Each structure stands twice: as structure tokens, then as C-alpha cells.
Amino acid sequence: MTAPSGSRDDATDAGTTRGRTPPGVSRTFAALSVPGFANLWASGWIWNITRWMCLFLGSYLVNERTGSPLLVQLIGASFFFPMFVGGVIGGVISDRLDRVRVIMTSLASLAVLAIVMSVIVATGNLATWMLYPFILAVGIGGVIDFTSRRTLIYEVVGPQRATNALALESMALSGGNMFGALLGGAIIQYLGIGATFLIVGIAYCGAFLLMIAARIAPRAPAPPSPTSAIADLRAGFSLLGTNAPLVSILAVTVIFNLFYFAFVPLVPVFAEQLEVGAFLAGLLASAPGTGMLLGTLLVASSTPAHRGKVFVAGTVLAFAGLFLFAAAPWYILALGIIFAAGIGQAGFATMQAVLTMDAADDETRGRAMGLLSMAIGSLPIGMLILGGSAAMLGPATAVMVSCIVGLAAMALVVRWRPESLKMR
């Protein structure tokens, strides 16, 4: 049987366009010349926009209803907790099952949940506690998408296009952050909460249809595995003892998620202190994604040779920007500073996935991404710590302290894991 366009069998064919950019195709968007990738990328854009819309929606509603920084941070913890407990499990699923079908099943399930939430709002029965299981479900979808979509992209475009394609995927992540929060704030203010849930559900349906239209051939049935799923889990964790570059990537990822990204659910709290409404709060929450979008465009167009240095330097720049954001007394100043921090995020995010997959082989790539998911899953711990410290010290002081600790931890990584700067 001949695989349709965009199949993974095509991805390793040296005679295809995967090794060179066809005439007339911008180097920045070179991966779009690969059949199937454009639909896969568009689906990822929708997924990321709705994902960040849901996080902003949950944070905004809990802050509006309770005024508690800790309860707001619990929304973020619910959102990211599945990545910690389910990362390697998601990686095993990615390595064993057809990744296209796994992603589509997740999208269909979340579409149903979002539409149900819109009905609950329309009937006046929404309780604050209901937001937590909904956000938890979106977080589970995030694990599935993270471990399957990026590995699928690597297979579809091939290793020669991987840096460009994954930079574009990071652009979708940053664009989702930017547009998701901005759209969430605008829709809440002008159409209402129920409309926001309904639009999220419709968007999931659109992403599902794009996955169908990508026409990526199903994975060829694998021979019966000689090992159990439990053995595969153990093999995934064994990478921690044998793969030094992977350990360095995971160390930086844990630091960044514990001490940087933990601030995200607190953006509506900062916006309230800066005396702005829902729309400008959404704009503030979108600013890091806007900066990250610009940064990923720069990476996609240049394909840097020293990827480890970009990874580490971007992390340090983001921490410095966040520290200044927390101290900013005016809305416009805070907006500009957090935008600059987003450029630093781009260096971290664009290099994170491609360095991880380059550090692994074909058979363990999904599990390596699962370990990366678990490292990202340390974020709920950081959110709870930051939520508690914000309640005691105030949001601004707590965020500044978090940045100082994060920068100190990065200095230790560079000192004791020098390979973090040498990865190419």
C-alpha cells in the first residue's frame, strides 16, 4: 500500500525536499514545504491558542470570584500537574500508539468538555470548583499533545528540517500564549464567560478537522513489543543515568518552570494592582507570548549553530525581564518589560524540544519527551510555592525573590553541567 503525502515514511527519504529549501520558499518557513506539516502546524496553533485561553479564563474567574492568589495559583497547578505525574506515561503512549489518532482523540474529548461547560454557564450553574477539573482535563490534553505532536513533527519533516519545524512549533506555542490570553480577555469582556467556553469547544473541533486534512499516514503496525509498558517506563527513567546532555536540558527546564513560569496565573493579580480591566489584563498576559513570537521568528530564520548557548542565554534574559516586570509601577512599563522577557523565553522554548530529541534515539524519543514533560510538570510545585509566598510577601516581592533564586540555580547548572553550553 502506498502511503499518502505527508506520511512518516516520506520523512526519511533523502530524495525529498526535506534536505533543501525549494526555490521561492522562505528559509524561515522552510518546513511548510513538507506535505502535511502545514495542517499539523495550523492544528497546533489552534490547540495552543485554546490552551492558553483556558488557563487565562480559569485564572481570571477564580481571581474575580475569590480574590485569593493561592486559589489562582491552584488553577495553574491543575493545568500543569498532569505533565509531572504523566509525562513518561505519555511518552510510552507516544512510542507505542499511532500519534495522529492519540492527538485526535484528545481534541475530540476536550471539545465535548468545553461545550458542556458553556451549557453549565448558560444555565447559571457554574460553581468555582468546576473550573479545577476542567483545567485539569486541559492539562492532561497538554501531556498527550506535548509528547505526541512534537515527536510526530520530527518524523514528518525529518531531522534536517527539525530545528526549523520545531522553531515554528514554538512560534505556535508563543502565538497561542499571545492570542489565547488576549482573545480570552476580549471575549470575556464583550461576549461573556459562556461564549468563551463555546468558542474553545468549536476551536477544538477545527483542530480535529485539520488533523484529518493533513493526511498523515497511520503508523505502520509495530511488531509485538518484547517488553512490557512497565519495562518501557523503566527504560525511559534509565536515560537519566546514561544521557548527560538530556540531564542538562532537564535541569534547566526544571529551574525555569519552578522559578519563572510559575508567575503566569498571577498576571490578572498584577493587572488588578495596575488598575486595568479584563481586556488590558489579557493584553498584559499576552505580552510574553508576543515577545516569544518575535524571538522564535529570529531563531527559525537563522538556525543557530550554538543551540546550547541560545538555550541558556534565553533563560537568563527571561529571568532578568521578569524581575523588572514585578518591580514596574506603571502598566505601560510592565507591558514593555514582560514583552522583552518573552524574547528570552523564545531562546529557551525553541531549543528545548529539538535538543531533547537530538539527545535521544528513534526508539526512545517519545520517552525522552516524556521526561521533558515531567520536568515541565515541576511547574505546579513552583506555582504553589509562589502562591504561598505571594500571600505572605505580596505578588511583586514573591516574584522578584523567585527570579533571584532561579538565576542562582542557573549559575550552578552552568558551573556543574558545562555541556549545557556546548550542545549544538
Query: pLDDT per residue over 394-412, tens digit each?
Result: 889 999 999 999 999 998 9
Percent above pLDDT 90 for the chain: 18
Is 19 a residue whose pLDDT tops 60?
A: no
Query: For the chain, what is the radius of gyration of the CA atoms?
Result: 20
Contacts of 148 (CB under 8 A, 6+ apart): 90, 93, 94, 99, 102, 103, 366
- What are the tens digits of pLDDT across the range 324-350? 999 998 999 999 999 999 988 888 877
35 confidence band (pLDDT: 50, 70, 90): confident
56 confidence band (pLDDT: 50, 70, 90): confident
Mean pLDDT of the region 376-384: 80
Is 268 a residue whose pLDDT tops 60?
A: yes
Closest of 382, 413, 399 to residue 312, by C-alpha: 413
Q: What is the dihedral of CA 373, 250, 346, 307, to 10 degrees?
A: -130
pLDDT at site 8? 44
Closest of 361, 357, 358, 353 to residue 235, by C-alpha: 361
Largest CA distance in the chain: 64
Report the alpha-carbon distance of residue 255 to residue 277 in Å, rounded: 32
CB 405 within 8 A of CB 284: no
CB 242 within 8 A of CB 82: no
Cell of 22: 525549494
Closest of 76, 83, 151, 48 to residue 373, by C-alpha: 83
Contacts of 214 (CB under 8 A, 6+ apart): 6, 36, 39, 40, 43, 100
CB 298 within 8 A of CB 291: no
Higher pLDDT, 81 or 224: 81
Pick the most confident of 122-131, 160-169, 199-208. Answer: 199-208
| Range of weakest confidence among 61-65, 141-145, 197-201, 354-358 | 354-358
CB 383 within 8 A of CB 265: yes
Mean pLDDT of the region 260-266: 84
281 confidence band (pLDDT: 50, 70, 90): confident
Cell of 361: 534515539
Is 3 a residue whose pLDDT tops 50?
A: no
Q: Is 323 helix (H, G, I), strand (E, B) or coil?
A: helix
Percent above pLDDT 70 for the chain: 78
Mean pLDDT of the region 375-401: 86
Structural domains in the chain, CATH included, are 28-219+241-422 (1.20.1250.20)
Report the alpha-carbon distance of residue 68 to residue 269 in Å, rounded: 9
Across all residues in the chain, what is the average pLDDT? 78
pTM as predicted: 0.63
85 confidence band (pLDDT: 50, 70, 90): low
Q: Write the Ramachandran bin of 12: left for phi over 0, alpha for psi from -120 to 50, otherwise beta.
A: alpha
pLDDT at site 340? 92
Of the chain, the end-to-end C-alpha distance in Å amounts to 38
Higher pLDDT, 138 or 150: 138
